[in-house]
Amino acid sequence: MSEPSTGAARARDKPWIFRTYAGHSNARDSNALYRKNLAKGQTGLSVAFDLPTQTGYDSDHPLAKGEVGKVGVPISHLGDMRTLFEQIPLGEMNTSMTINATAAWLLALYVALADEQGVAREKLQGTTQNDIIKEYLSRGTYVFPPAPSMRLTKDVILFTTREMPKWNPINVCSYHLQEAGATPVQELAFALATAIAVLDTVQASGAVERGAFGEVVGRISFFVNAGLRFITELCKMRAFAELWDEITAERYGVNDPKQRLFRYGVQVNSLALTEQQPENNVTRILIEMLAVTLSKSARARAVQLPAWNEALGLPRPWDQQWSLRMQQILAYETDLLEYGDIFDGAPAIAEKVERLKREAKEELAHIDALGGAIAAVEHGYMKQQLVESNTRRVEAIERGEQIVVGVNRYMESESSPLAGAADAILTVSPQAEAEQIERLKAWRSARDQKAASAALKELRTAARENRNIVPPSIVCAKAGVTTGEWGFALRESFGEYRAPTGVGRAPRNETVGLDDLRAEVERVSRKLGRRLTFVLGKPGLDGHSNGAEQIAVRARDAGMEVVYDGIRLTPAEIVEAAREQGAHVLGLSILSGSHVPLVKDVVARMKSAGLDDIPVIVGGIIPAEDAQALQQAGVAAVYTPKDFELNRIMADIVRIVDRTAA
């Protein structure tokens, strides 16, 4: 029986770009993973770089210890880039690079490789994330102060607009804002405020020819988050599109509707993934994907999905394949792409979109009154708002007001044959770092040292003279300059920066559920003879600080004296802070997979400093066998994402201190 007629036949829409976010260990292994995923039907690459690469350090720098190849691929020089893209035709590939502080450098390496392969720059397609503002607010891979960082962002935009017309020079990124606790309104307003700050910077440079600014605007893209509140997230996407159209027309006078399009890629929410009953994450990922694909007028241009087991550790190729197949089934087995926008004319959708737009405009006006996004970063306003929003979210889950299946409701569970299987996650070989360092040393020895020195000198001159940084960076790439050398050359000119933590010193007035805990803190403090002091540190290069911030806020509200100085501290700095502040307990937060070497380093330094009577506790994405190893090394307690009840953690801390004070 044939289907009833629905009018004239319409062409099936082209699917979005299918990506998986990938990279680990080294360029060779990552290349093999990319080629395997492309063979499975992935249509674009999304490159994850390790933390030393993201923060401008070579793999053999002391701060890179334990971090090499853990959360992405290490790229120290052009040779690594060659290996990473071996047998992958750059002229045909759409490559997304999640890189920010060092975006100009990774773009330079990519362009240098394309030049080497004879691929015309105008053929290159892809994206550099290049959104430094959200790094100060959430992800933490910033290096330089805001002003020179914005200059680098501008330089990439101007270079690519002129020489790489198919390249998106920036993904204004709200993804990590939601991961840090942003409400839909904050995600809209903070991301749009960032885009405005970037475009204002480009416009103020005077480097864009009259009448050509629309082309700059047309190359701006966004990278967003989609959570589990399906209708709200779908409406947020439609609100984004409408607000961007208004801003680009009214503020920048862009007349071409195509240049005003809200073009975005998405990774759906990893914050919602749970360590408990992790198989439920498959359902969560699928629902989140629907929010950015069902509404044609606000459909993502590219989608990358996390794997079901990312709350446990690094996913395996099979896990990534499962997420890729979800996209392919929706695109090719359903009739989604055969219809127009199925939400047009829906009153509930229109009402929700208008409410989001109205509230986002109010927040945008407030940020503008503060002096714009950069001023709101420097004054700590946006960071503080995110910390407070995240606090409300965590408390709602703790109180059971926000239901999370398997976490605070329906917790009875069969044992998982997936999570319980041997090798359920991918682990990076301990030899990967040593091998990468050996290759780096060999590269430095084999290059033309005079050419590298001359290129670095020209880079420093360009930085001082405010010339576009990309052309001399390409020269550096071709001369064999390394990531760390590039990074330190610019550190000499621009300096480094430590962003506000968003964690205030004064406790909140709201004390629901804290009375008993505060009483215990008071009792133990009297026993100690002064206020119980909790020093909290993030060793290594991991910039994901959301968990540490929430621990700091709860400890402060429970009545402890909390010392938290933010991200990227060395073990030596953390131990010195414990000594100076007279810590009664030291907490370490590490989410990059580098917990074993970094924690053991801190523990050893505490012992050498005569501070081994101070208990150390650790939090992060830590497999059970690693937790056992850390406890054997002297750690008093280990917490993972399943430990979501912060008051219980606080009570544990008080008991641990009480025990050591006896």
Q: Distance between CA atoms of 264 and 252, rounded to whole angstroms?
A: 20
Which entry of 57, 110, 136, 175 is annotated as an active-site residue? 175
**How many Cα atoms occupy the beta-carbon half-sphere of 494 within 13 Å?**
26
Collapsing DSSP to helix, strand or coil, 415 comes out as coil
Is 175 annotated as catalytic? yes
Is 57 annotated as catalytic? no
Q: Distance between CA atoms of 28 and 98, rounded to whole angstroms?
A: 19
Rg (CA), the chain: 25
Collapsing DSSP to helix, strand or coil, 274 comes out as coil
Is 366 annotated as catalytic? no
Q: H helices within 558-610, ranges in order?
A: 571-580, 595-608
- 656 burial via Cβ count (<10 Å: 0-12, 13-18, 19+): middle
What letter represents residue 479's amino acid? A
Is 516 annotated as catalytic? no
How far from the centroid of its chain's Cα atoms is residue 412's Cα? 33
DSSP states of 194-210 as a string?
Answer: HHHHHHHHHHHTT-SPT
Q: Distance between CA atoms of 466 and 496, rounded to whole angstroms?
A: 18
Element (H, E) at 563: strand 561-564
Which entry of 154, 176, 584, 595 is annotated as an active-site residue? 176
Cβ contacts of 564 within 8 Å, gap of 6 or more = 501, 503, 535, 536, 537, 548, 549, 552
Which entry of 24, 134, 383, 544 is annotated as an active-site residue? 544
Q: Distance between CA atoms of 487 and 496, rounded to whole angstroms?
A: 11
The closest of 46, 28, 139, 24 to 96, measured between CA atoms, is 46
Is 335 annotated as catalytic? no
Which entry of 21, 57, 264, 639 is annotated as an active-site residue? 21
Q: Distance between CA atoms of 26 and 83, rounded to whole angstroms?
A: 9
Q: Which two tokens stand for residue 140?
A: 């933490």
Which entry of 131, 319, 542, 557 is annotated as an active-site residue? 542
Is 538 annotated as catalytic? yes
Residues with active-site annotation: 21, 175-176, 538, 542, 544
